[in-house]
């Protein structure tokens, strides 16, 4: 799918690294390093602006290597970039580790995934259909 992009960063456009990649990595576009303290959060500029077609969104997701090795993840995961947003893509990162983490210019900080969006049409009803689970909430289906 063709997505309009303005890349005002100093880095190459986000690309799929392998033929089977679902997402494209997006890089930090910063003048000076950002030190993300333990428990801290920050919005990382990317210098990228997108024109997403109606009926789609771009999801901002964590990079698994950052999460496993450093405890760094996207705070509002997955973040949503709506089709009518035209501002710079900012990535909200949080540090869940006990150590400060340094974000440098050009670091791959997240991945972007294109997703189709269906619009909701509400239909008022008097009762919900019965299911085996019913109103059972968190953990109600068991451990296995």
Q: Could you give the residue ranges of the DSSP H alpha helices within 27-130?
A: 64-70
Q: What φ, ψ does residue 9 adopt, rounded to 5°?
A: -85, 175
**pLDDT, tens digit, 9 for 90 and up, residues 18-43:** 999 999 999 999 999 999 999 999 99
**pLDDT, tens digit, 9 for 90 and up, residues 115-128:** 999 999 999 999 99
Residue 58 near residue 112 (C-beta atoms within 8 A): yes
Show Cβ contacts of residue 104 under 8 Å, excluding neighbours closer than 6 positions.
28, 30, 33
Hey, what domains does the chain have and what are their CATH numbers?
Answer: 4-12+23-116 (2.70.40.10)
Global pTM reads 0.89
Q: Which residues of the chain have pLDDT under 50?
A: none
Question: Which of 134, 38, 135 lies closest to 93, judged by CA?
Answer: 38
């Amino acid at each position: 799918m063709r997505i309009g992009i303005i890349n005002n960063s100093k880095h190459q456009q986000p690309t799929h690294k392998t033929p089977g990649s679902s997402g494209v990595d997006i890089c930090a576009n910063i003048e000076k390093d950002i030190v993300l303290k333990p428990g801290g959060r920050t919005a990382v500029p990317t210098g990228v602006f997108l024109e997403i077609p109606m009926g789609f969104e771009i999801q901002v997701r964590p990079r698994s290597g950052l999460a496993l090795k450093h405890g760094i993840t996207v705070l509002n995961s997955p973040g949503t970039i709506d089709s009518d947003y035209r501002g710079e893509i900012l990535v909200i990162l949080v540090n869940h580790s006990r150590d400060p983490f340094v974000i440098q210019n050009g670091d791959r900080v997240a991945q972007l995934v294109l997703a189709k969006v269906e619009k909701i049409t509400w239909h008022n009803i008097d009762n919900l259909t019965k299911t085996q689970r019913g109103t059972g909430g968190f953990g109600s289906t068991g451990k296995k």
